[in-house]
């Protein structure tokens, strides 16, 4: 992953500000904007197909009652993941993708990396062995371009054991206990909500790279970069990309450790 500028953007569920999250249009838009790092969420369907959706409950993203776990893939494929409460009918017909559908966008794009977040609700429903194995199998053609991440430590450990995957832990808290877990796990990436961080100070040093999420403004992103965050995850992909590459570079290099 080549670095340009003070940090790199990760498209959180694709360009999710302008398109329904975790859909092919959202991911294609992010790539079209020049963002080469994507983050997505994976659950298993009733017949154990890895599908790209954040909530296991379907109402918010599809307007359909029930859960991902209730329906087979052929049933989920008929739903419209158009986020009707946010977009109305504008994106009616946009489908829930399989993980393999999103990874197909990577063909001929070796510069693109995808962070695949395994959701805890699926782990609780189907068990770590089945979920991790199914996700690793689905991403096999793009193995080198994928990083398995999760809040669940056992899931990322299992991904490394089964597939030799690069892994990332999504921190539940930025505290002494989590730091000990990080030292034991030695992941390639650590993800953290910026609101979980202390207000100042350099981020923990280690063999990992930091990816800080829920970031919506360039000043915040720059301050996090100065503290040690190489990656900034955002849904506001277009706005953040434009701000990052604007010709006015004033105040773009805050003092490290501020």
Tokens for 187, please give them: 């992941």
**Using an 8 Å Cβ cutoff, are 42 and 117 in contact?**
yes
DSSP assigned state of 104:
G
What tokens does 69 get?
């776990």
The average pLDDT across 129-150 equals 96
Cβ-contact 230, 209 below 8 angstroms: yes
Residues ≥6 apart with Cβ < 8 Å to 225 = 6, 7, 232, 254
pLDDT band, very low/low/confident/very high, at 4 (cuts 50, 70, 90): low
pLDDT tens for each residue of 176-222:
999 999 999 999 999 999 999 999 999 999 999 999 999 999 999 99
**Fold classification of 8-244 (topology level):** TIM Barrel (3.20.20)
Residue 97 DSSP SS3: coil
pLDDT digits (tens, 9 = 90+) for 99-139: 999 999 999 999 999 999 999 999 999 999 999 999 999 99
Residue with tokens 């301050």: 223
**What residues are labeled active site?**
12, 54
Q: Which pTM does this prediction carry?
A: 0.93
Give the N- to C-terminal CA distance of the chain in Å, as an integer: 26
Domains of the chain, residue spans: 8-244
């Amino acid at each position: 992953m080549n670095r340009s500028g003070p940090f790199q953007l990760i498209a959180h569920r694709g360009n999710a500000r302008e398109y329904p999250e975790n859909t092919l249009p959202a991911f294609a838009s992010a790539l079209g904007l020049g963002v080469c790092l994507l983050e997505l969420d994976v659950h298993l369907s009733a017949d154990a197909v890895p599908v790209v959706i954040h909530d296991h409950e379907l109402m918010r993203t599809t307007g359909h009652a029930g859960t991902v776990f209730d329906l087979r893939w052929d049933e989920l494929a008929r739903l419209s993941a158009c986020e009707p409460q946010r977009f109305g009918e504008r994106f009616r017909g946009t489908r829930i993708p399989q993980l393999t559908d999103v990874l197909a966008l990577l063909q001929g794009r070796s510069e693109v990396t995808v962070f695949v977040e395994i959701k805890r609700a699926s782990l609780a429903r189907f068990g770590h062995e089945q979920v991790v194995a199914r996700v690793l199998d689905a991403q096999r053609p793009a193995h080198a371009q994928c990083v398995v991440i999760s809040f669940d430590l056992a899931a990322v450990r299992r991904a490394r054991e089964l597939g030799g995957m690069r892994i990332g832990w999504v921190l539940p808290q930025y505290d002494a206990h989590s730091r000990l877990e990080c030292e034991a796990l030695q992941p390639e990436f650590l993800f953290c909500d910026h609101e979980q961080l202390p207000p100042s100070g350099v981020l923990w040093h280690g063999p990992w790279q930091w990816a800080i999420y829920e970031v919506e403004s360039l000043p915040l992103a720059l301050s996090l970069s100065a503290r040690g965050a190489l990656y900034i995850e955002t849904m506001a992909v277009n706005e953040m990309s434009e701000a990052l590459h604007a010709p006015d570079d004033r105040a773009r290099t805050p003092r490290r450790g501020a």
